[in-house]
Amino acid sequence: MNRLTVWGGVFALLILQACDNGTPERMQTDNSVTDKVTFTSSIENNSASRAYDGKWEKNDRIGVFMLNNADGTPIESNVPYITSSGDGNFVGDGDFIRFPEEGTVVDFVACYPYKADLADGLSYSVDVSDQSSQKAIDLMVSNNLTGRDLTNQATGNNLQFTHVLSKLVLNLSAADNSSLRGLKVYVLGTKARTSVSLKDKKQAEPAGEAQDILMYINENCTQAEAVLVPQAIGGKLKLRLEINGKSKEVETGIEGELAANNKYVYSLKVSNAGNQITTDPEATYTRWFETPVITESQLAQSNIRYITHYGPDDEKVRNYSMLYDTELKIAYWVAYPLCSYYTEGSGKRTDDWGFDPAISSSLQADLKKGFSGFDRGHQLPSADRVRSNRMNATTFYYTNMTPQIGKGLNQTIWADLEEAVRGWSSGIDTLFVVTGAMPTTQTDTHITYTRDNSGNNVAVPKYYFKALARRLSATGSYQTIAFKLDQREYGDRNYRQYAISVNELEEITGFTFFPQIDEQYKDNSNAW
């Protein structure tokens, strides 16, 4: 399946842009009996839910079938295998499958979760009406191991699992500090039952009457999830929100079908204040993995612009994007990918200061000679874009600048943090970065201004932040971290002491970062 992001309305059909799933390097074997079959495994993580992003858990069990390669008849049926340590290496849970002694060529089919009573052999029945335990309904199937015999015990047998159902993820945030405790979210008018052929992953027609399916919501009411049966949709998929006796329907951008092995991500701000539920859905805009959520109400403001820049040497390559305020003349955030493609090349620091061609110069600060008393602080650092001089020049657009204290901040601790971020991008596929500058705080909404070269007001940020995410190819899991530094002179250069979790940064700024990443990975900065 191609890895790309397709947006329909306000909904994301997400195919994660990251490294390929890692395959465990070792395989558990019993050297005393060489015909026992053991397995390694990998998970295609496009719609991952139970084994999020390809990560198994301790004591996960699968059912394995061994079929005659010649005619497809079962030789062994639904034998339970277990990964005791959760590393994806599976051994028989009591019984083992053994390769036929006579050298018969066989195929293997496996399914997760293990179901002891598969009533119809290789047909797996699914009912997603109860979402309280998603691990019990998140069906994954592997049928890639074909044409195997005893010689493959030495070369290894890797089961490649794919999700055969659909996944809906709803990122929730509270507006106006209203509580979302007790919120219920229903997916309206979908069928909940089907059956899947394990041999070819083909799904039967969805069965039963269309019903409203209650989504699973995490303890903090920040994310709702539903594993859904792939099916055609009449019109657009709708949700119903209920809280404290109030109800509101929300129309999504999903229409046509819920596709197998696809994950749909949606972000929604919800207010429970007053006599009714109000919502601020995610806007329609070009976005990537690193792009924070932008709501419809934000883009409806005349002073807010979403600006995207592509590579000047290759227009198919994304460079960076930003949420820019034409009144304050600064960007609230700049989001960009970081890897060797951008940091290695023939380019150098160009100091090619100039207006951003994406918007009128009248909407930007005039900074040819810089600020008085402040540095022209890059949000996307110059050193992060040295593939070519043309690409480096894009970091000197005035939209990428803010008035930043030089001594004790931009030239010291902040510069050290920028250098560390570049270091963290090595050895991985891509580091996803959001750098931001906020002109107000939760307790101080007064905006301070300085002047540009033409005498126009430019907002002075009260603090700066960075949010980072990286994917671990070995496990398929994510690590995130954030930093928040106030606009002041620092006597030290220890940026580490200003590290916080991405979830904490979301609470401080009001932005939602990395909406495709599960909440559990945004709550811990210690693993970085």
> What three-state secondary structure class fits 340?
helix
Q: How far, in Å, CA of 123 to CA of 77, rounded?
A: 12
The answer to whether residues 251 and 238 touch, using CB atoms and an 8 Å cutoff, is yes
Dihedrals φ, ψ of 182, to 5°? 90, 0
Residues 6+ apart with CB under 8 A from 196: 123, 124, 126, 139, 141, 164, 202, 203, 204
**DSSP string across 179-231:** --TT-EEEEEEE--EEEEETTT--BPPPBS--EEEEPEE-TTSSEEEEEE--E
Q: What residues have CB less than 8 Å from 486, skipping those under 6 apart?
A: 462, 463
CB pairs under 8 A, 24+ apart, for 201-210? 201/141, 201/143, 201/162, 201/164, 201/260, 203/164, 203/229, 203/230, 203/260, 206/230, 206/231
Mapped onto helix, strand or coil, the DSSP state of residue 394 is helix
Amino acid residing at 407: K
Residues 6+ apart with CB under 8 A from 78: 63, 64, 65, 114, 115, 116, 118
Rounded (to 5) percent helix, strand, coil in the chain: 15, 40, 50
Cα separation, 119 vs 128, in Å, equals 18
304 CB-side CA count, 13 A: 12
> Which residue do the tokens 């930003």 mark?
322
Q: In this structure, what DSSP letter does residue 38 have? A: -
Site of tokens 């301070």: 448
Query: What is the set of active-site residues?
Result: 378
Q: Determine if residue 261 is labeled as part of a ligand binding site.
A: no
What's the one-letter identity of residue 213?
I
- Give the burial class of 139: count Cβ atoms within 10 A of its Cβ; 0-12 exposed, 13-18 middle, 19 or more buried: buried
Q: Which residues are annotated as a binding site?
A: 410
Binding residues for Mg(2+): 410
